[in-house]
Amino acid sequence: MSSHNRPWEGPRWPEGVAHEVSGYERPLFSILDWAASEFPNSTYTIFSGFSKSFAQVKDTADRIAYFLINQGLNKGDRVAIFLPNIPHYPEILFGTLKAGGVCVTCNPLYKAHELNYQLKDAGASIAFVMDHPQFYATAVEALKDTNVETVVVCNVKSYLPFLKALLGSLLGKIPKAEHHEPGHLMFDDIIRSSRPEPPQVDVDPVNDPAVIVYTGGTTGVPKGAVLSHSNLVSNVMVMEEWIRLEEYPGGPLKKAKRGGAHCYLGVLPWYHSFGLTVCMLASCNSASRLVCIPDPRAGNPPFAEVLKAIEKYKITTFVGVPTIYSAIVNHPFTDKFDLSSIVGCGSGAAPLPVEVIKQFEKRTGAVIYEGYGMTETSPIVTLNPTNTTQRKIGTVGLPVPNTEVKIVDLETGIQELPQGEDGEIAVSGPQVMLGYWNEPEANEESFRQINGKRYLLTGDIGHLDEDGFLVITDRKKDMIIVGGFNAYPKEIEEVLYTHPKVALAAVVGVPDPHAGESIKAFIQLKPGVKATEEEFLAFCKEKLAGYKRPKEIEFRNSLPTSVVGKVLRRVLKEEELRKRKKEQG
% the chain with pLDDT above 90: 76
Q: What pLDDT, in 10s, does the model give residues 409-437?
A: 988 999 999 999 999 999 999 999 999 99
Give the alpha-carbon dihedral of 323, 308, 32, 248, to 10 degrees: 90
DSSP assignment of 4-25, as one string?
Answer: TT-TTSSTTSPTT--S------
Mean pLDDT of 82-88: 97
pLDDT band for 538, please (50, 70, 90 cuts). very high
d(Cα 464, Cα 405) in Å, to the nearest integer? Answer: 9
Half-sphere exposure of 505 (CA within 13 A, CB side): 22
| For residue 217, pLDDT beyond 50 | no
Q: Are 473 and 535 in contact (CB under 8 A)?
A: no
| For residue 450, pLDDT beyond 80 | yes
% the chain with pLDDT above 70: 97
| For residue 170, pLDDT beyond 90 | no
d(Cα 481, Cα 148) in Å, to the nearest integer? Answer: 32
For position 487, what pLDDT does the model report?
Answer: 86
Q: Are 240 and 282 in contact (CB under 8 A)?
A: yes
Least confident of 33-42, 172-181, 304-313, 438-447: 172-181
Least confident of 75-89, 223-237, 356-370, 549-563: 549-563
Q: What pLDDT, in 10s, does the model give residues 297-334?
A: 899 988 999 999 999 999 999 999 887 888 898 889 99
Cα 1 versus chain centre, distance: 33
Residues 6+ apart with CB under 8 A from 439: 223, 224
pLDDT band for 218, please (50, 70, 90 cuts). very low
Average pLDDT, the chain: 93
Q: What pLDDT, in 10s, does the model give residues 121-167?
A: 999 999 999 999 999 999 999 999 999 999 999 999 999 988 888 88
Q: What are phi and psi of 156, to 5 degrees?
A: -85, -5
CB crowding 64-93: b at 16 or more within 10 Å, else e: bbbbbbebebeeebbbbbbbbbbbbbbbbb
Which of 492, 551, 407 lies closest to 111 in space, CA to CA? 492
For position 220, what pLDDT does the model report?
Answer: 59
Domains belonging to the chain, first-starting first, are 50-204 (3.40.50.980), 404-475 (2.30.38.10), 481-584 (3.30.300.30)
Mean pLDDT of 399-418: 95
| For residue 239, pLDDT beyond 50 | yes
Q: Are 280 and 290 in contact (CB under 8 A)?
A: yes
For position 340, what pLDDT does the model report?
Answer: 94
Q: What pLDDT, in 10s, does the model give residues 455-514?
A: 999 999 899 999 999 999 877 777 788 988 888 887 898 889 889 999 888 999 999 888
For position 3, what pLDDT does the model report?
Answer: 46
Which of 436, 425, 344 lies closest to 382 in space, CA to CA? 425
pLDDT band for 4, please (50, 70, 90 cuts). low
Q: What pLDDT, in 10s, does the model give residues 255-278?
A: 988 998 899 999 999 999 999 999
| For residue 2, pLDDT beyond 50 | no
